[in-house]
């Protein structure tokens, strides 16, 4: 069985409070289980609660052993690292994976920087868990026992990886922080920085990368996708910030025959009331067009917005 539990669903910054009780205020952290095997995606502030859960439950059955996949090192995806309590248990074994993209800084050094005395009172030397770090590019990793992970570069201001976990015929895909690939070069011939070759290459690259995303999502049982903005918000100056819209995620999930789309990485300004309304809207909207077309092909995508504490199965 391949399952997911959401420990943090929010993007950018934690935002606890009376208007985020239903969908949660903690930032990205997913617990994925391939039967008993533990995978974690990102260590946002949700990792504090996951850590406590693992110490309370998993450690009674044996040492905590996990593969942790970091999508990228923006704060909202790593800030829970110093508070992940299995780090303080000597028998814990963690393999931390993440993209190579940080100049001279390794994934290990960035995570450890958070424990510098300017930022945090606990020293790295006080963490007793056994940790191994591995840096990833676009690749396929065989983790053994039928568990395979495929990676795909996403479109974000820093290199960021999407993960596709495949286990015994089931699949869970993550695609955040991400916005559709687009041509980065000016296409307006009257622009002083217009370059015909660059404009054409930029267009081709965007098309190719968007096609690769389609292949990456194809027939996924569960797709956890960035939906930080509505289309209206995105078109109001948010292009280039590295986040997708509800409309884009829903359209692509339908097109690629995804079974369950879970919208994720909620904007801090999106309250419970707004997200409940969006969920209703986007569950109904595709019925007018996309969903009908998908139904005629014998395919429908179930759409939900991620709530902290929610679980789902592939």
Summarize as ranges the residues that interact with Zn ion (CB under 5 A): 11, 74, 76, 177
CB of 92 to Zn ion, least distance (A): 26
Nearest-approach distance from CB 12 to Zn ion, in angstroms: 6
The Cβ-side half-sphere exposure at 163, using a 13 Å CA radius, reads: 25
Whole-angstrom distance, CA of residue 312 vs CA of residue 307? 11
Cβ 50 to Zn ion shortest distance, Å = 17
Residue closer to Zn ion (CB basis): 39 or 244: 244
Q: Give me the sign of the Cα torsion angle 75, 71, 214, 6.
A: negative
Residue 84 dihedral angles phi and psi, to the nearest 5°: -85, 100
Which CB sits closer to Zn ion, 67 or 177?
Answer: 177
The residue assigned the tokens 């690292």 is 81
CB 174 to Zn ion: min, Å = 12
Quick one: tokens of 208? 């190719």
Q: Show Cβ contacts of residue 240 under 8 Å, excluding neighbours closer than 6 positions.
A: 157, 179
Q: How far is the CB of 179 from Zn ion (least distance, A)?
A: 11
Q: Which is nearer to Zn ion, 74 or 260 (CB)?
A: 74
Is the Cβ–Cβ distance between 255 and 301 less than 8 Å?
no
Nearer to Zn ion among residue 14 and residue 86 (C-beta):
14
Residue 282 neighbours by CB under 8 Å, 6+ apart: 246, 247, 250, 263, 303
Least distance CB 101 / Zn ion (angstroms): 12
Laid out side by side, the sheet with 140-144 consists of: 140-144, 147-153, 161-167, 170-175, 222-226, 260-264, 302-305
Q: Mapping DSSP to helix (H, G, I), strand (E, B) and coil, where does residue 134 land?
A: strand
Nearer Cβ to Zn ion (91/269):
269
Select 31 or 177, whichever has its Cβ closest to Zn ion.
177
Q: How far is the CB of 307 from Zn ion (least distance, A)?
A: 18
| Smallest distance, Zn ion to C-beta of residue 8, A | 10
The smaller minimum CB distance to Zn ion, of residues 29 and 32, is found at 29
Q: Is 270 within 8 Å of 15 (Cβ atoms)?
A: no
d(CA 64, CA 56): 11
Q: Which residue is nearest to Zn ion (CB)?
A: 74
Nearer Cβ to Zn ion, position 81 or 185?
81
What is residue 10's DSSP assignment? Answer: B
């Amino acid at each position: 069985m391949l399952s997911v539990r959401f420990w943090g669903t929010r993007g950018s910054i934690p935002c606890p409070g009376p208007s985020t009780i239903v969908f949660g205020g903690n930032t990205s952290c997913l617990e994925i289980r391939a039967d008993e095997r533990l995978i974690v995606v990102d260590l946002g502030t949700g990792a504090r609660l996951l850590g406590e859960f693992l110490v309370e439950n998993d450690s009674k059955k044996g040492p905590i052993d996990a593969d942790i996949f970091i999508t990228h090192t923006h704060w909202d995806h790593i800030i829970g690292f110093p508070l992940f309590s299995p780090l303080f248990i000597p028998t814990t074994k963690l393999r931390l994976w993440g993209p190579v993209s940080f100049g001279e800084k390794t994934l290990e050094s960035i995570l450890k920087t958070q424990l510098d005395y300017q930022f945090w009172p606990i020293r790295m030397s006080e963490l007793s868990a056994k940790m191994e770090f591995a840096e990833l590019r676009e690749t396929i990793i065989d983790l053994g026992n039928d568990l395979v992970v495929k990676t795909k570069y996403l479109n974000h201001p820093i290199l960021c990886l999407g993960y596709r976990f495949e286990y015994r015929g089931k699949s869970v895909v993550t695609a955040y922080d991400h916005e559709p690939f687009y041509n980065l070069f000016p296409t307006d011939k009257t622009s002083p920085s217009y370059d015909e070759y660059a404009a054409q290459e930029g267009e081709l690259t965007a098309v190719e990368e968007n096609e690769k995303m389609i292949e990456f999502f194809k027939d996924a049982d569960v797709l956890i996708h960035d939906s930080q903005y509505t289309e209206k918000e995105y078109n109001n100056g948010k292009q280039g910030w590295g986040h997708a819209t509800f409309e884009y995620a829903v359209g692509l999930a339908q097109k690629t025959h995804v079974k369950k789309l879970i919208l994720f990485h909620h904007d801090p300004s999106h309250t419970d009331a707004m997200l409940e309304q969006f969920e209703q809207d986007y569950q109904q909207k595709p019925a007018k067009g996309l969903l009908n077309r998908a139904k005629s092909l014998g395919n429908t995508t179930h759409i939900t917005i991620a709530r902290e504490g929610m679980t789902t199965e592939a």
